[in-house]
Amino acid sequence: MTNPQDIERDYSAGHGTEAVLFGVVQHGEQRTAAEALHELQLLASTADYVVAGCMVQHRRHPDPHTYLGAGKLAELAEVVKLARSGAVICDDSLTPNQARHVETAVGVPVLDRSELILQIFSMHARTPQARLQVELAALQYEMPRLRRKWTHLERQRGGIGVRGGAGEKQIDVDRHMLRQRISAVARELKGIEQHKIREVAARPELFTVALVGYTNAGKSSLMNRLCDAGVLAENKLFSTLDTRTRPWRLPGGRTILLTDTVGFIKKLPHELVASFHATLEEALAADLLLVLIDGSSPEAAEQLATVNEVLESLHAADLARITVINKLDLVADRGSLAELWQSDQRAVAISALTGEGLEELFSSIQSQVAQVENRCSLLVPHTAGALLSHIRAKATVLSEFYTQQGCLVEVQVSPALLGRLLSEGARYAEPTDLPADAPVQLVAVDDDDDDIDEAPATTRDADDLDPPPA
């Protein structure tokens, strides 16, 4: 009987294998082969392959049977022979039929972009969740490619006493085993996803910011800069796969949550998008997205378009966001960022390495926080004084004033935390709560719909307030 380990393809690193990269580019593109395959070179290097050469063919679309034309395929085989390469890597996802034809022509193993990314994810998966997600994506990738990988496909299973003709083909046995394993892994991931949903639902009182964006745009570096998270930050694609959430203390004292996520990339295999949905779901539950782009990359505009496409595919296109152009310290000509400014005039340019632009980023985040939170005046009685620590940690305190009845605070607070404060002893402040000599700000409450009036508060002296009813 076939072992499950034999069914799964080897997704370990390239171990220094020399590889020739190839792809198809549209007619009229002026980039060289090395420029067109720049990102594939980074992926190959991350997976520990040594790039021995690059080759592209200009045509409208790949050949449905051989990917490259017959002449170009023969040229690729010659390049592989001269370079003595041990593998070839395609910049697109190949169908099983295309991969079989290319492998027959070049005589060495063929990897496509999806398989290469799976190798990288397998290398960087550290937690049980990440390993399960990579395994599920790999199994789903393998299913339609079994026929190409086995030489014993016509072997049949039978035995003494079996009647009715030939036994079951080995490929059918292998497919059945793959389906069983896919179902088992999917169930395990479903349990993790349910746990994540409960975990996220348990912290609605804190405003949450999620870092999303192109891989290697500096998300982990920015997270380390903002909240000393200790997250691994390397100049490699997909150096981190797991979602990490850390408390972030804003200027002024209040705490919000900052979440780091797996990076996006062009032509991301749909199997990975599906299997990592639980990881991305935690980020998509955030109140605000910081979309990071590598401003020093010549393909920054394309990276931003890719991130927007992935967010749209995850039904997250309408979430509040701030575009953050990172790595400003590496941008020699800042006029090159004009295209990014045109796509989003509210974008913020920063350097996570030097700290340049972070104050503007803080200001933009606090403006977004103000738009979604309630602003109101509360009286916290002395008997419920413990609530003040929650207010100072989880809300923005605009003013405080102590009276005989308790502490009068004007706050900017999330609806969830406001509900908790009101249920545990705090109440909306009234004019009668104010001493005669204390200028304070009162924010009106709309009793009809229980929402806080978002009109600017006005400062009034207590002497000017209407006296309490007799």
pTM for the model:
0.71
CATH of the domain at 430: 3.30.70
Is the same domain home to 353 and 234? Answer: yes
User: Which of 56-65, 98-107, 327-336 shows the lowest per-residue confidence on average (mean pLDDT)?
Assistant: 327-336
Higher pLDDT, 132 or 81: 81
**Whole-number Å distance between alpha carbons of 251 and 399:** 15
Is the same domain home to 399 and 297? Answer: no
**Whole-number Å distance between alpha carbons of 249 and 256:** 6
Whether the per-residue pLDDT at 77 is higher than 70: the answer is: yes
Does residue 179 fall inside a structural domain? Answer: no
Per-residue pLDDT at 132? 85
Per-residue pLDDT at 107? 93
The residue out of 353, 370, 387 marking a domain boundary is 370
Question: Buried (b) or exposed (e) across 191-201, using 16+ Cβ within 10 A?
Answer: ebbeebeeebe
Is the same domain home to 312 and 401? Answer: no
User: Which of 296-300, 415-419, 454-458 shows the lowest per-residue confidence on average (mean pLDDT)?
Assistant: 454-458
Is the same domain home to 59 and 208? Answer: no
Q: Tokens 């990359």 sit at which residue?
A: 297
The 3-state DSSP class for residue 185 equals: helix
Is the same domain home to 389 and 329? Answer: no
Which residue intervals of 265-414 are DSSP H helices?
A: 270-275, 277-284, 300-313, 338-343, 358-372, 387-394
SS3 content of the chain, % helix, strand, coil (to 5): 40, 20, 35
Is the same domain home to 333 and 380? Answer: no
Does residue 188 fall inside a structural domain? Answer: no
**Whole-number Å distance between alpha carbons of 306 and 343:** 13
**Whole-number Å distance between alpha carbons of 366 and 158:** 70
The residue out of 120, 151, 174 marking a domain boundary is 120
Higher pLDDT, 389 or 228: 389
Whether the per-residue pLDDT at 49 is higher than 90: the answer is: yes
The residue out of 105, 120, 135 marking a domain boundary is 120
Per-residue pLDDT at 315? 79
Q: Are 377 and 404 in contact (CB under 8 A)?
A: no
How many structural domains compose the chain?
Answer: 3
Does residue 157 fall inside a structural domain? Answer: no
Q: Going by C-beta distance under 8 Å and a sequence separation of 6 or more, which residues neighbour residue 378? A: 391, 408, 409, 410, 411, 421, 426, 427, 428, 429
* Cα 442–Cα 445–Cα 447 angle in degrees, nearest 5: 155
Give helix then strand counts, H and E, for the chain: 17, 20
Is the same domain home to 378 and 361? Answer: no
Does residue 126 fall inside a structural domain? Answer: no
Residue range 342-359: mean pLDDT, rounded: 89
φ, ψ at 233 (rounded to 5°): -130, 110
Range of the domain at 402: 373-464
Whether the per-residue pLDDT at 64 is higher than 90: the answer is: yes
Whether the per-residue pLDDT at 92 is higher than 50: the answer is: yes
Using CA atoms, how far residue 76 sits from 48, 85, 96, 102, in Å, is: 22, 11, 19, 9
Per-residue pLDDT at 354? 92
Residue-wise pLDDT for 138-177, tens only, equals 888 888 777 555 444 444 444 444 444 444 567 777 788 8
